[in-house]
Amino acid sequence: MKGSLIIVAFFVVGLLGARWGLVPSELLEQDFTQYALYGLMFLVGIQIGSDRKALQALKEQNLRIVLVPLATVTGTWLGSAGVSLFLPGMSLKDCLAVGSGFGYYSLSSIFITEYRGAELGTIALTANILREIITLLGAAVMVRFFGRLAPICSGGATTMDTTLPVITRYSGKEFVVISLFHGFVVDFSVPFLVTFFARG
Amino acid sequence: MLKVVGIMMLGVLSGYLLRNRSLRWVSKAIMVAIWLLLFLLGVAVGNNAEIMDHLDTIGWSGLLLAVGGVLGSVLMAWGVYRFFFQGKDKSTLA
């Protein structure tokens, strides 16, 4: 939660700084943002490649564990497609691109901004931060009505870090490995799926 | 798209090769890159009068999409739980 607040703070400081004319707009030179983005991608790759816990978890699990991230991805797409019917200003692809952030708001908003501009990027930031917050606050209710996998699928890409504590608490310790594996897979899919819908 | 995927795969390979070393600096560097890029997104939004005028619409769209994504996910989670997890041998879970 503290991490999310810091990130939102950076966004807000940038916004207000620009609003009050304190930040030179030369900062927005395309090249600079693009190289920062490439650097970030490379670092995220290193983090995923060096992660042993998730791969280890996979070896010890029954094959049905792969159904959990699949449920998250298909469920999110169905939900986002449904919502697109109520958002006349946004295309189906826009909604699927935002949904494919799966709560990974930093990366997805940055990507969508790069491909589709700051407006959709800001929608992605909002939607995906809210997804994390809804999961943190609603985990108990989700378990009660939709079973013990519900907060894991709702948490999306965040289930190996920020939402892991609430999942452990409400789904139970035996779901920690599933949660880690799920977070790993969904995390990995975000750059690919977001790029696919935002550019395709 | 190919470039982005290529850069990321290169990172994954490097990460795999370096997996026995201490990589704590990586998550710190990621954090700093994210701060920087979100600051820049803030600057882009603040500089864009049209977006600033529509912040309420943007907020509502974001909320709707978050709720839609969560609802779809928990419904699918319920199906998978009900048919593949519930009542199955607990010992294979952990």
For residue A167, pLDDT beyond 50: yes
Query: Which of A32, A19, A20 has its CA nearest to residue B37?
Result: A32
Considering only CA atoms, which of A128, A192, A142, A51 is closest in space to residue B63? A128
Q: Tokens 């927005």 correspond to what residue?
A: A28
B82 and B63 in a single domain? The answer is yes
Partners of A72 on chain B (C-beta within 8 Å) are 73, 76-77
Kindly determine whether residue A47 and residue B15, on different chains, have CB atoms separated by under 8 Å.
Answer: yes
What are the structure tokens assigned to A167, written together? 């999942």
pLDDT tens for residues A89-126?
899 999 999 999 999 988 999 999 999 999 999 999 99
Contact criterion met (CB < 8 Å) for B58 and A119: yes
B chain contacts of residue A144, beta-carbon cutoff 8 Å: none
On whether both B75 and B44 belong to a single domain, the answer is no
Distance CA A183, CA A167 (A): 12
Q: Which residue has the tokens 């010992």?
A: B91
- Which residue blocks in chain A are alpha helix, DSSP H? 2-19, 30-49, 52-59, 67-84, 92-99, 105-116, 118-146, 150-155, 164-171, 176-199
Q: Determine contact: A195 vs chain B, CB below 8 A.
A: yes
Q: Which residues contact A54 (CB under 8 A, 6 or more apart)?
A: A160, A180, A181, A183, A184, A185
In this predicted structure, the answer to whether residue A3 has a pLDDT above a threshold of 70 is no
Report residue B84 CA to chain centroid gap: 26
Residue B92 has pLDDT above 60, yes or no: no
CB–CB contact A27 B40 (8 Å) = yes
Residue type, A162: T
Look up residue A51 and give its DSSP letter: -
**Domain ranges (residues) in chain A:** 2-199
Question: How many residue contacts between A and B have a Cβ separation below 8 Å?
Answer: 312
Type of residue found at B29 = A
pLDDT for the residue numbered A141: 94
CA A86 to chain CA mean position, Å? 22
**Residue B61 and residue B42 share a domain:** no
At residue B89, does pLDDT exceed 60? no
- Whether residue A182 lies within 8 A of chain B, CB to CB, comes out as no
**Chain B contact present for A147, CB below 8 A:** yes
Which positions 35-54 of A are in contact with B (Cβ < 8 Å)? 36-52
Look at residue B94 in the predicted model and tell me its pLDDT: 42
Compute how many other C-beta atoms are within 10 angstroms of the C-beta atom of residue A54.
18
Contact A46 B36 (CB under 8 A): no
Same domain, B43 and B6: yes
Q: Given this model, what pLDDT does residue B91 score?
A: 47
- Is residue B6 located within the same domain as residue B31? yes
Does B37 fall in a domain?
yes
Sequence-ordered list of residues with C-beta below 8 angstroms from that of A67, at least 6 positions apart, any chain: B80, B84
- Distance of alpha carbon B36 from alpha carbon B34, whole angstroms: 5
Average pLDDT value for chain A: 89
Residue indicated by tokens 């920020």: A162
Residues B6 and B43 in one domain: yes
Cβ atoms B18, A91 nearer than 8 A: no
CA distance A141 to A172: 14
Partners of A42 on chain B (C-beta within 8 Å) are 7-8, 10-11, 14
Contact B74 A102 (CB under 8 A): no
Q: Which residue of B has its CA nearest to A41?
A: B8
Q: State how far the Cα of A47 lies from the Cα of A43, in Å rounded to an integer.
A: 6
DSSP sequence for B16-78: HHTTTS--HHHHHHHHHHHHHHHHHHHHHHHT-HHHHHTHHHHHHHHHHHHHHHHHHHHHHHH
Average pLDDT, stretch B20-43? 86
Q: Kindly give, in sequence order, each residue whose CB lies less than 8 Å from that of residue A91, ignoring residues fewer than 6 positions away.
A: A84
Count how many domains chain B has.
2
> Do the chains contact at B67 and A42, CB–CB below 8 Å?
no
Residue B31 domain-assigned?
Answer: yes
Q: Do B85 and A148 touch (CB under 8 A)?
A: yes
Range of the domain at B75: 54-86
Residues B9 and B24 in one domain: yes
Domain match, B18 and B59 both:
no
A35 contact partners, CB below 8 Å, separation of at least 6: none
CA distance A41 to B46: 25
pLDDT for the residue numbered A29: 67
